[in-house]
Amino acid sequence: MKSLSEIDTVSKRASRAVGFSWGICEEVGKNIRLLELFGLKGIKNLISYYTEKKRSKFSNLNDIKKRNKSLKYDFCPIIAGVSFLDQADSLKSVGEIKIEKLAYPILFLPFISRASEVIGKKIILKFDKQEFYLNLN
């Protein structure tokens, strides 16, 4: 098993290799580290997503609204996550937010966890038949 620091570093470098900016790479490193810390398969899912990203297209979700639906491609979980985290303060009064066609929602999960801490509110994330209760930490 790799240390959490190694997981962070490898995730950042892999993210940079697929074309993300260093700022986004920093966020990915923190998030994959967080997934692994809680026993979720962050590295495995990140590798799968980046492998698929080479042969498929994904839409960017930059402006989070109450209802978000991509007409063509699945949303990139990393860009959607960064957008959600950046807009968390303005989204806290929206209530329920729906995102359809989000690729690899497990990679979106730590962004929401961190957003919960930022806004000081509990967030429930549902995808497929899974529910995650995120309460500020």
| 56-92 tens-digit pLDDT | 999 999 999 999 998 899 999 999 999 999 999 888 8
Name the nearest CA neighbour of 105 among 134, 68, 135, 130.
130
Supply the pTM of this predicted model.
0.90
Banded model confidence at residue 15, pLDDT cuts 50, 70, 90: very high
What integer is the mean pLDDT of 27-44?
Answer: 94
Q: Which of 86, 113, 112, 107 is nearest to 97 (CA)?
A: 112
> What is the structure's pLDDT at 137?
59
CA distance 33 to 46: 11
In this predicted structure, the answer to whether residue 128 has a pLDDT above a threshold of 80 is no
Confidence class for position 95, pLDDT limits 50, 70, 90: confident
φ and ψ at 136, to 5 degrees? Answer: 70, -5
What pLDDT band is residue 136 in, cutting at 50, 70 and 90? low
Structure confidence at residue 42 as a pLDDT band (50, 70, 90): very high
Q: Which residue has the higher pLDDT, 83 or 129?
A: 83
pLDDT for position 96: 84
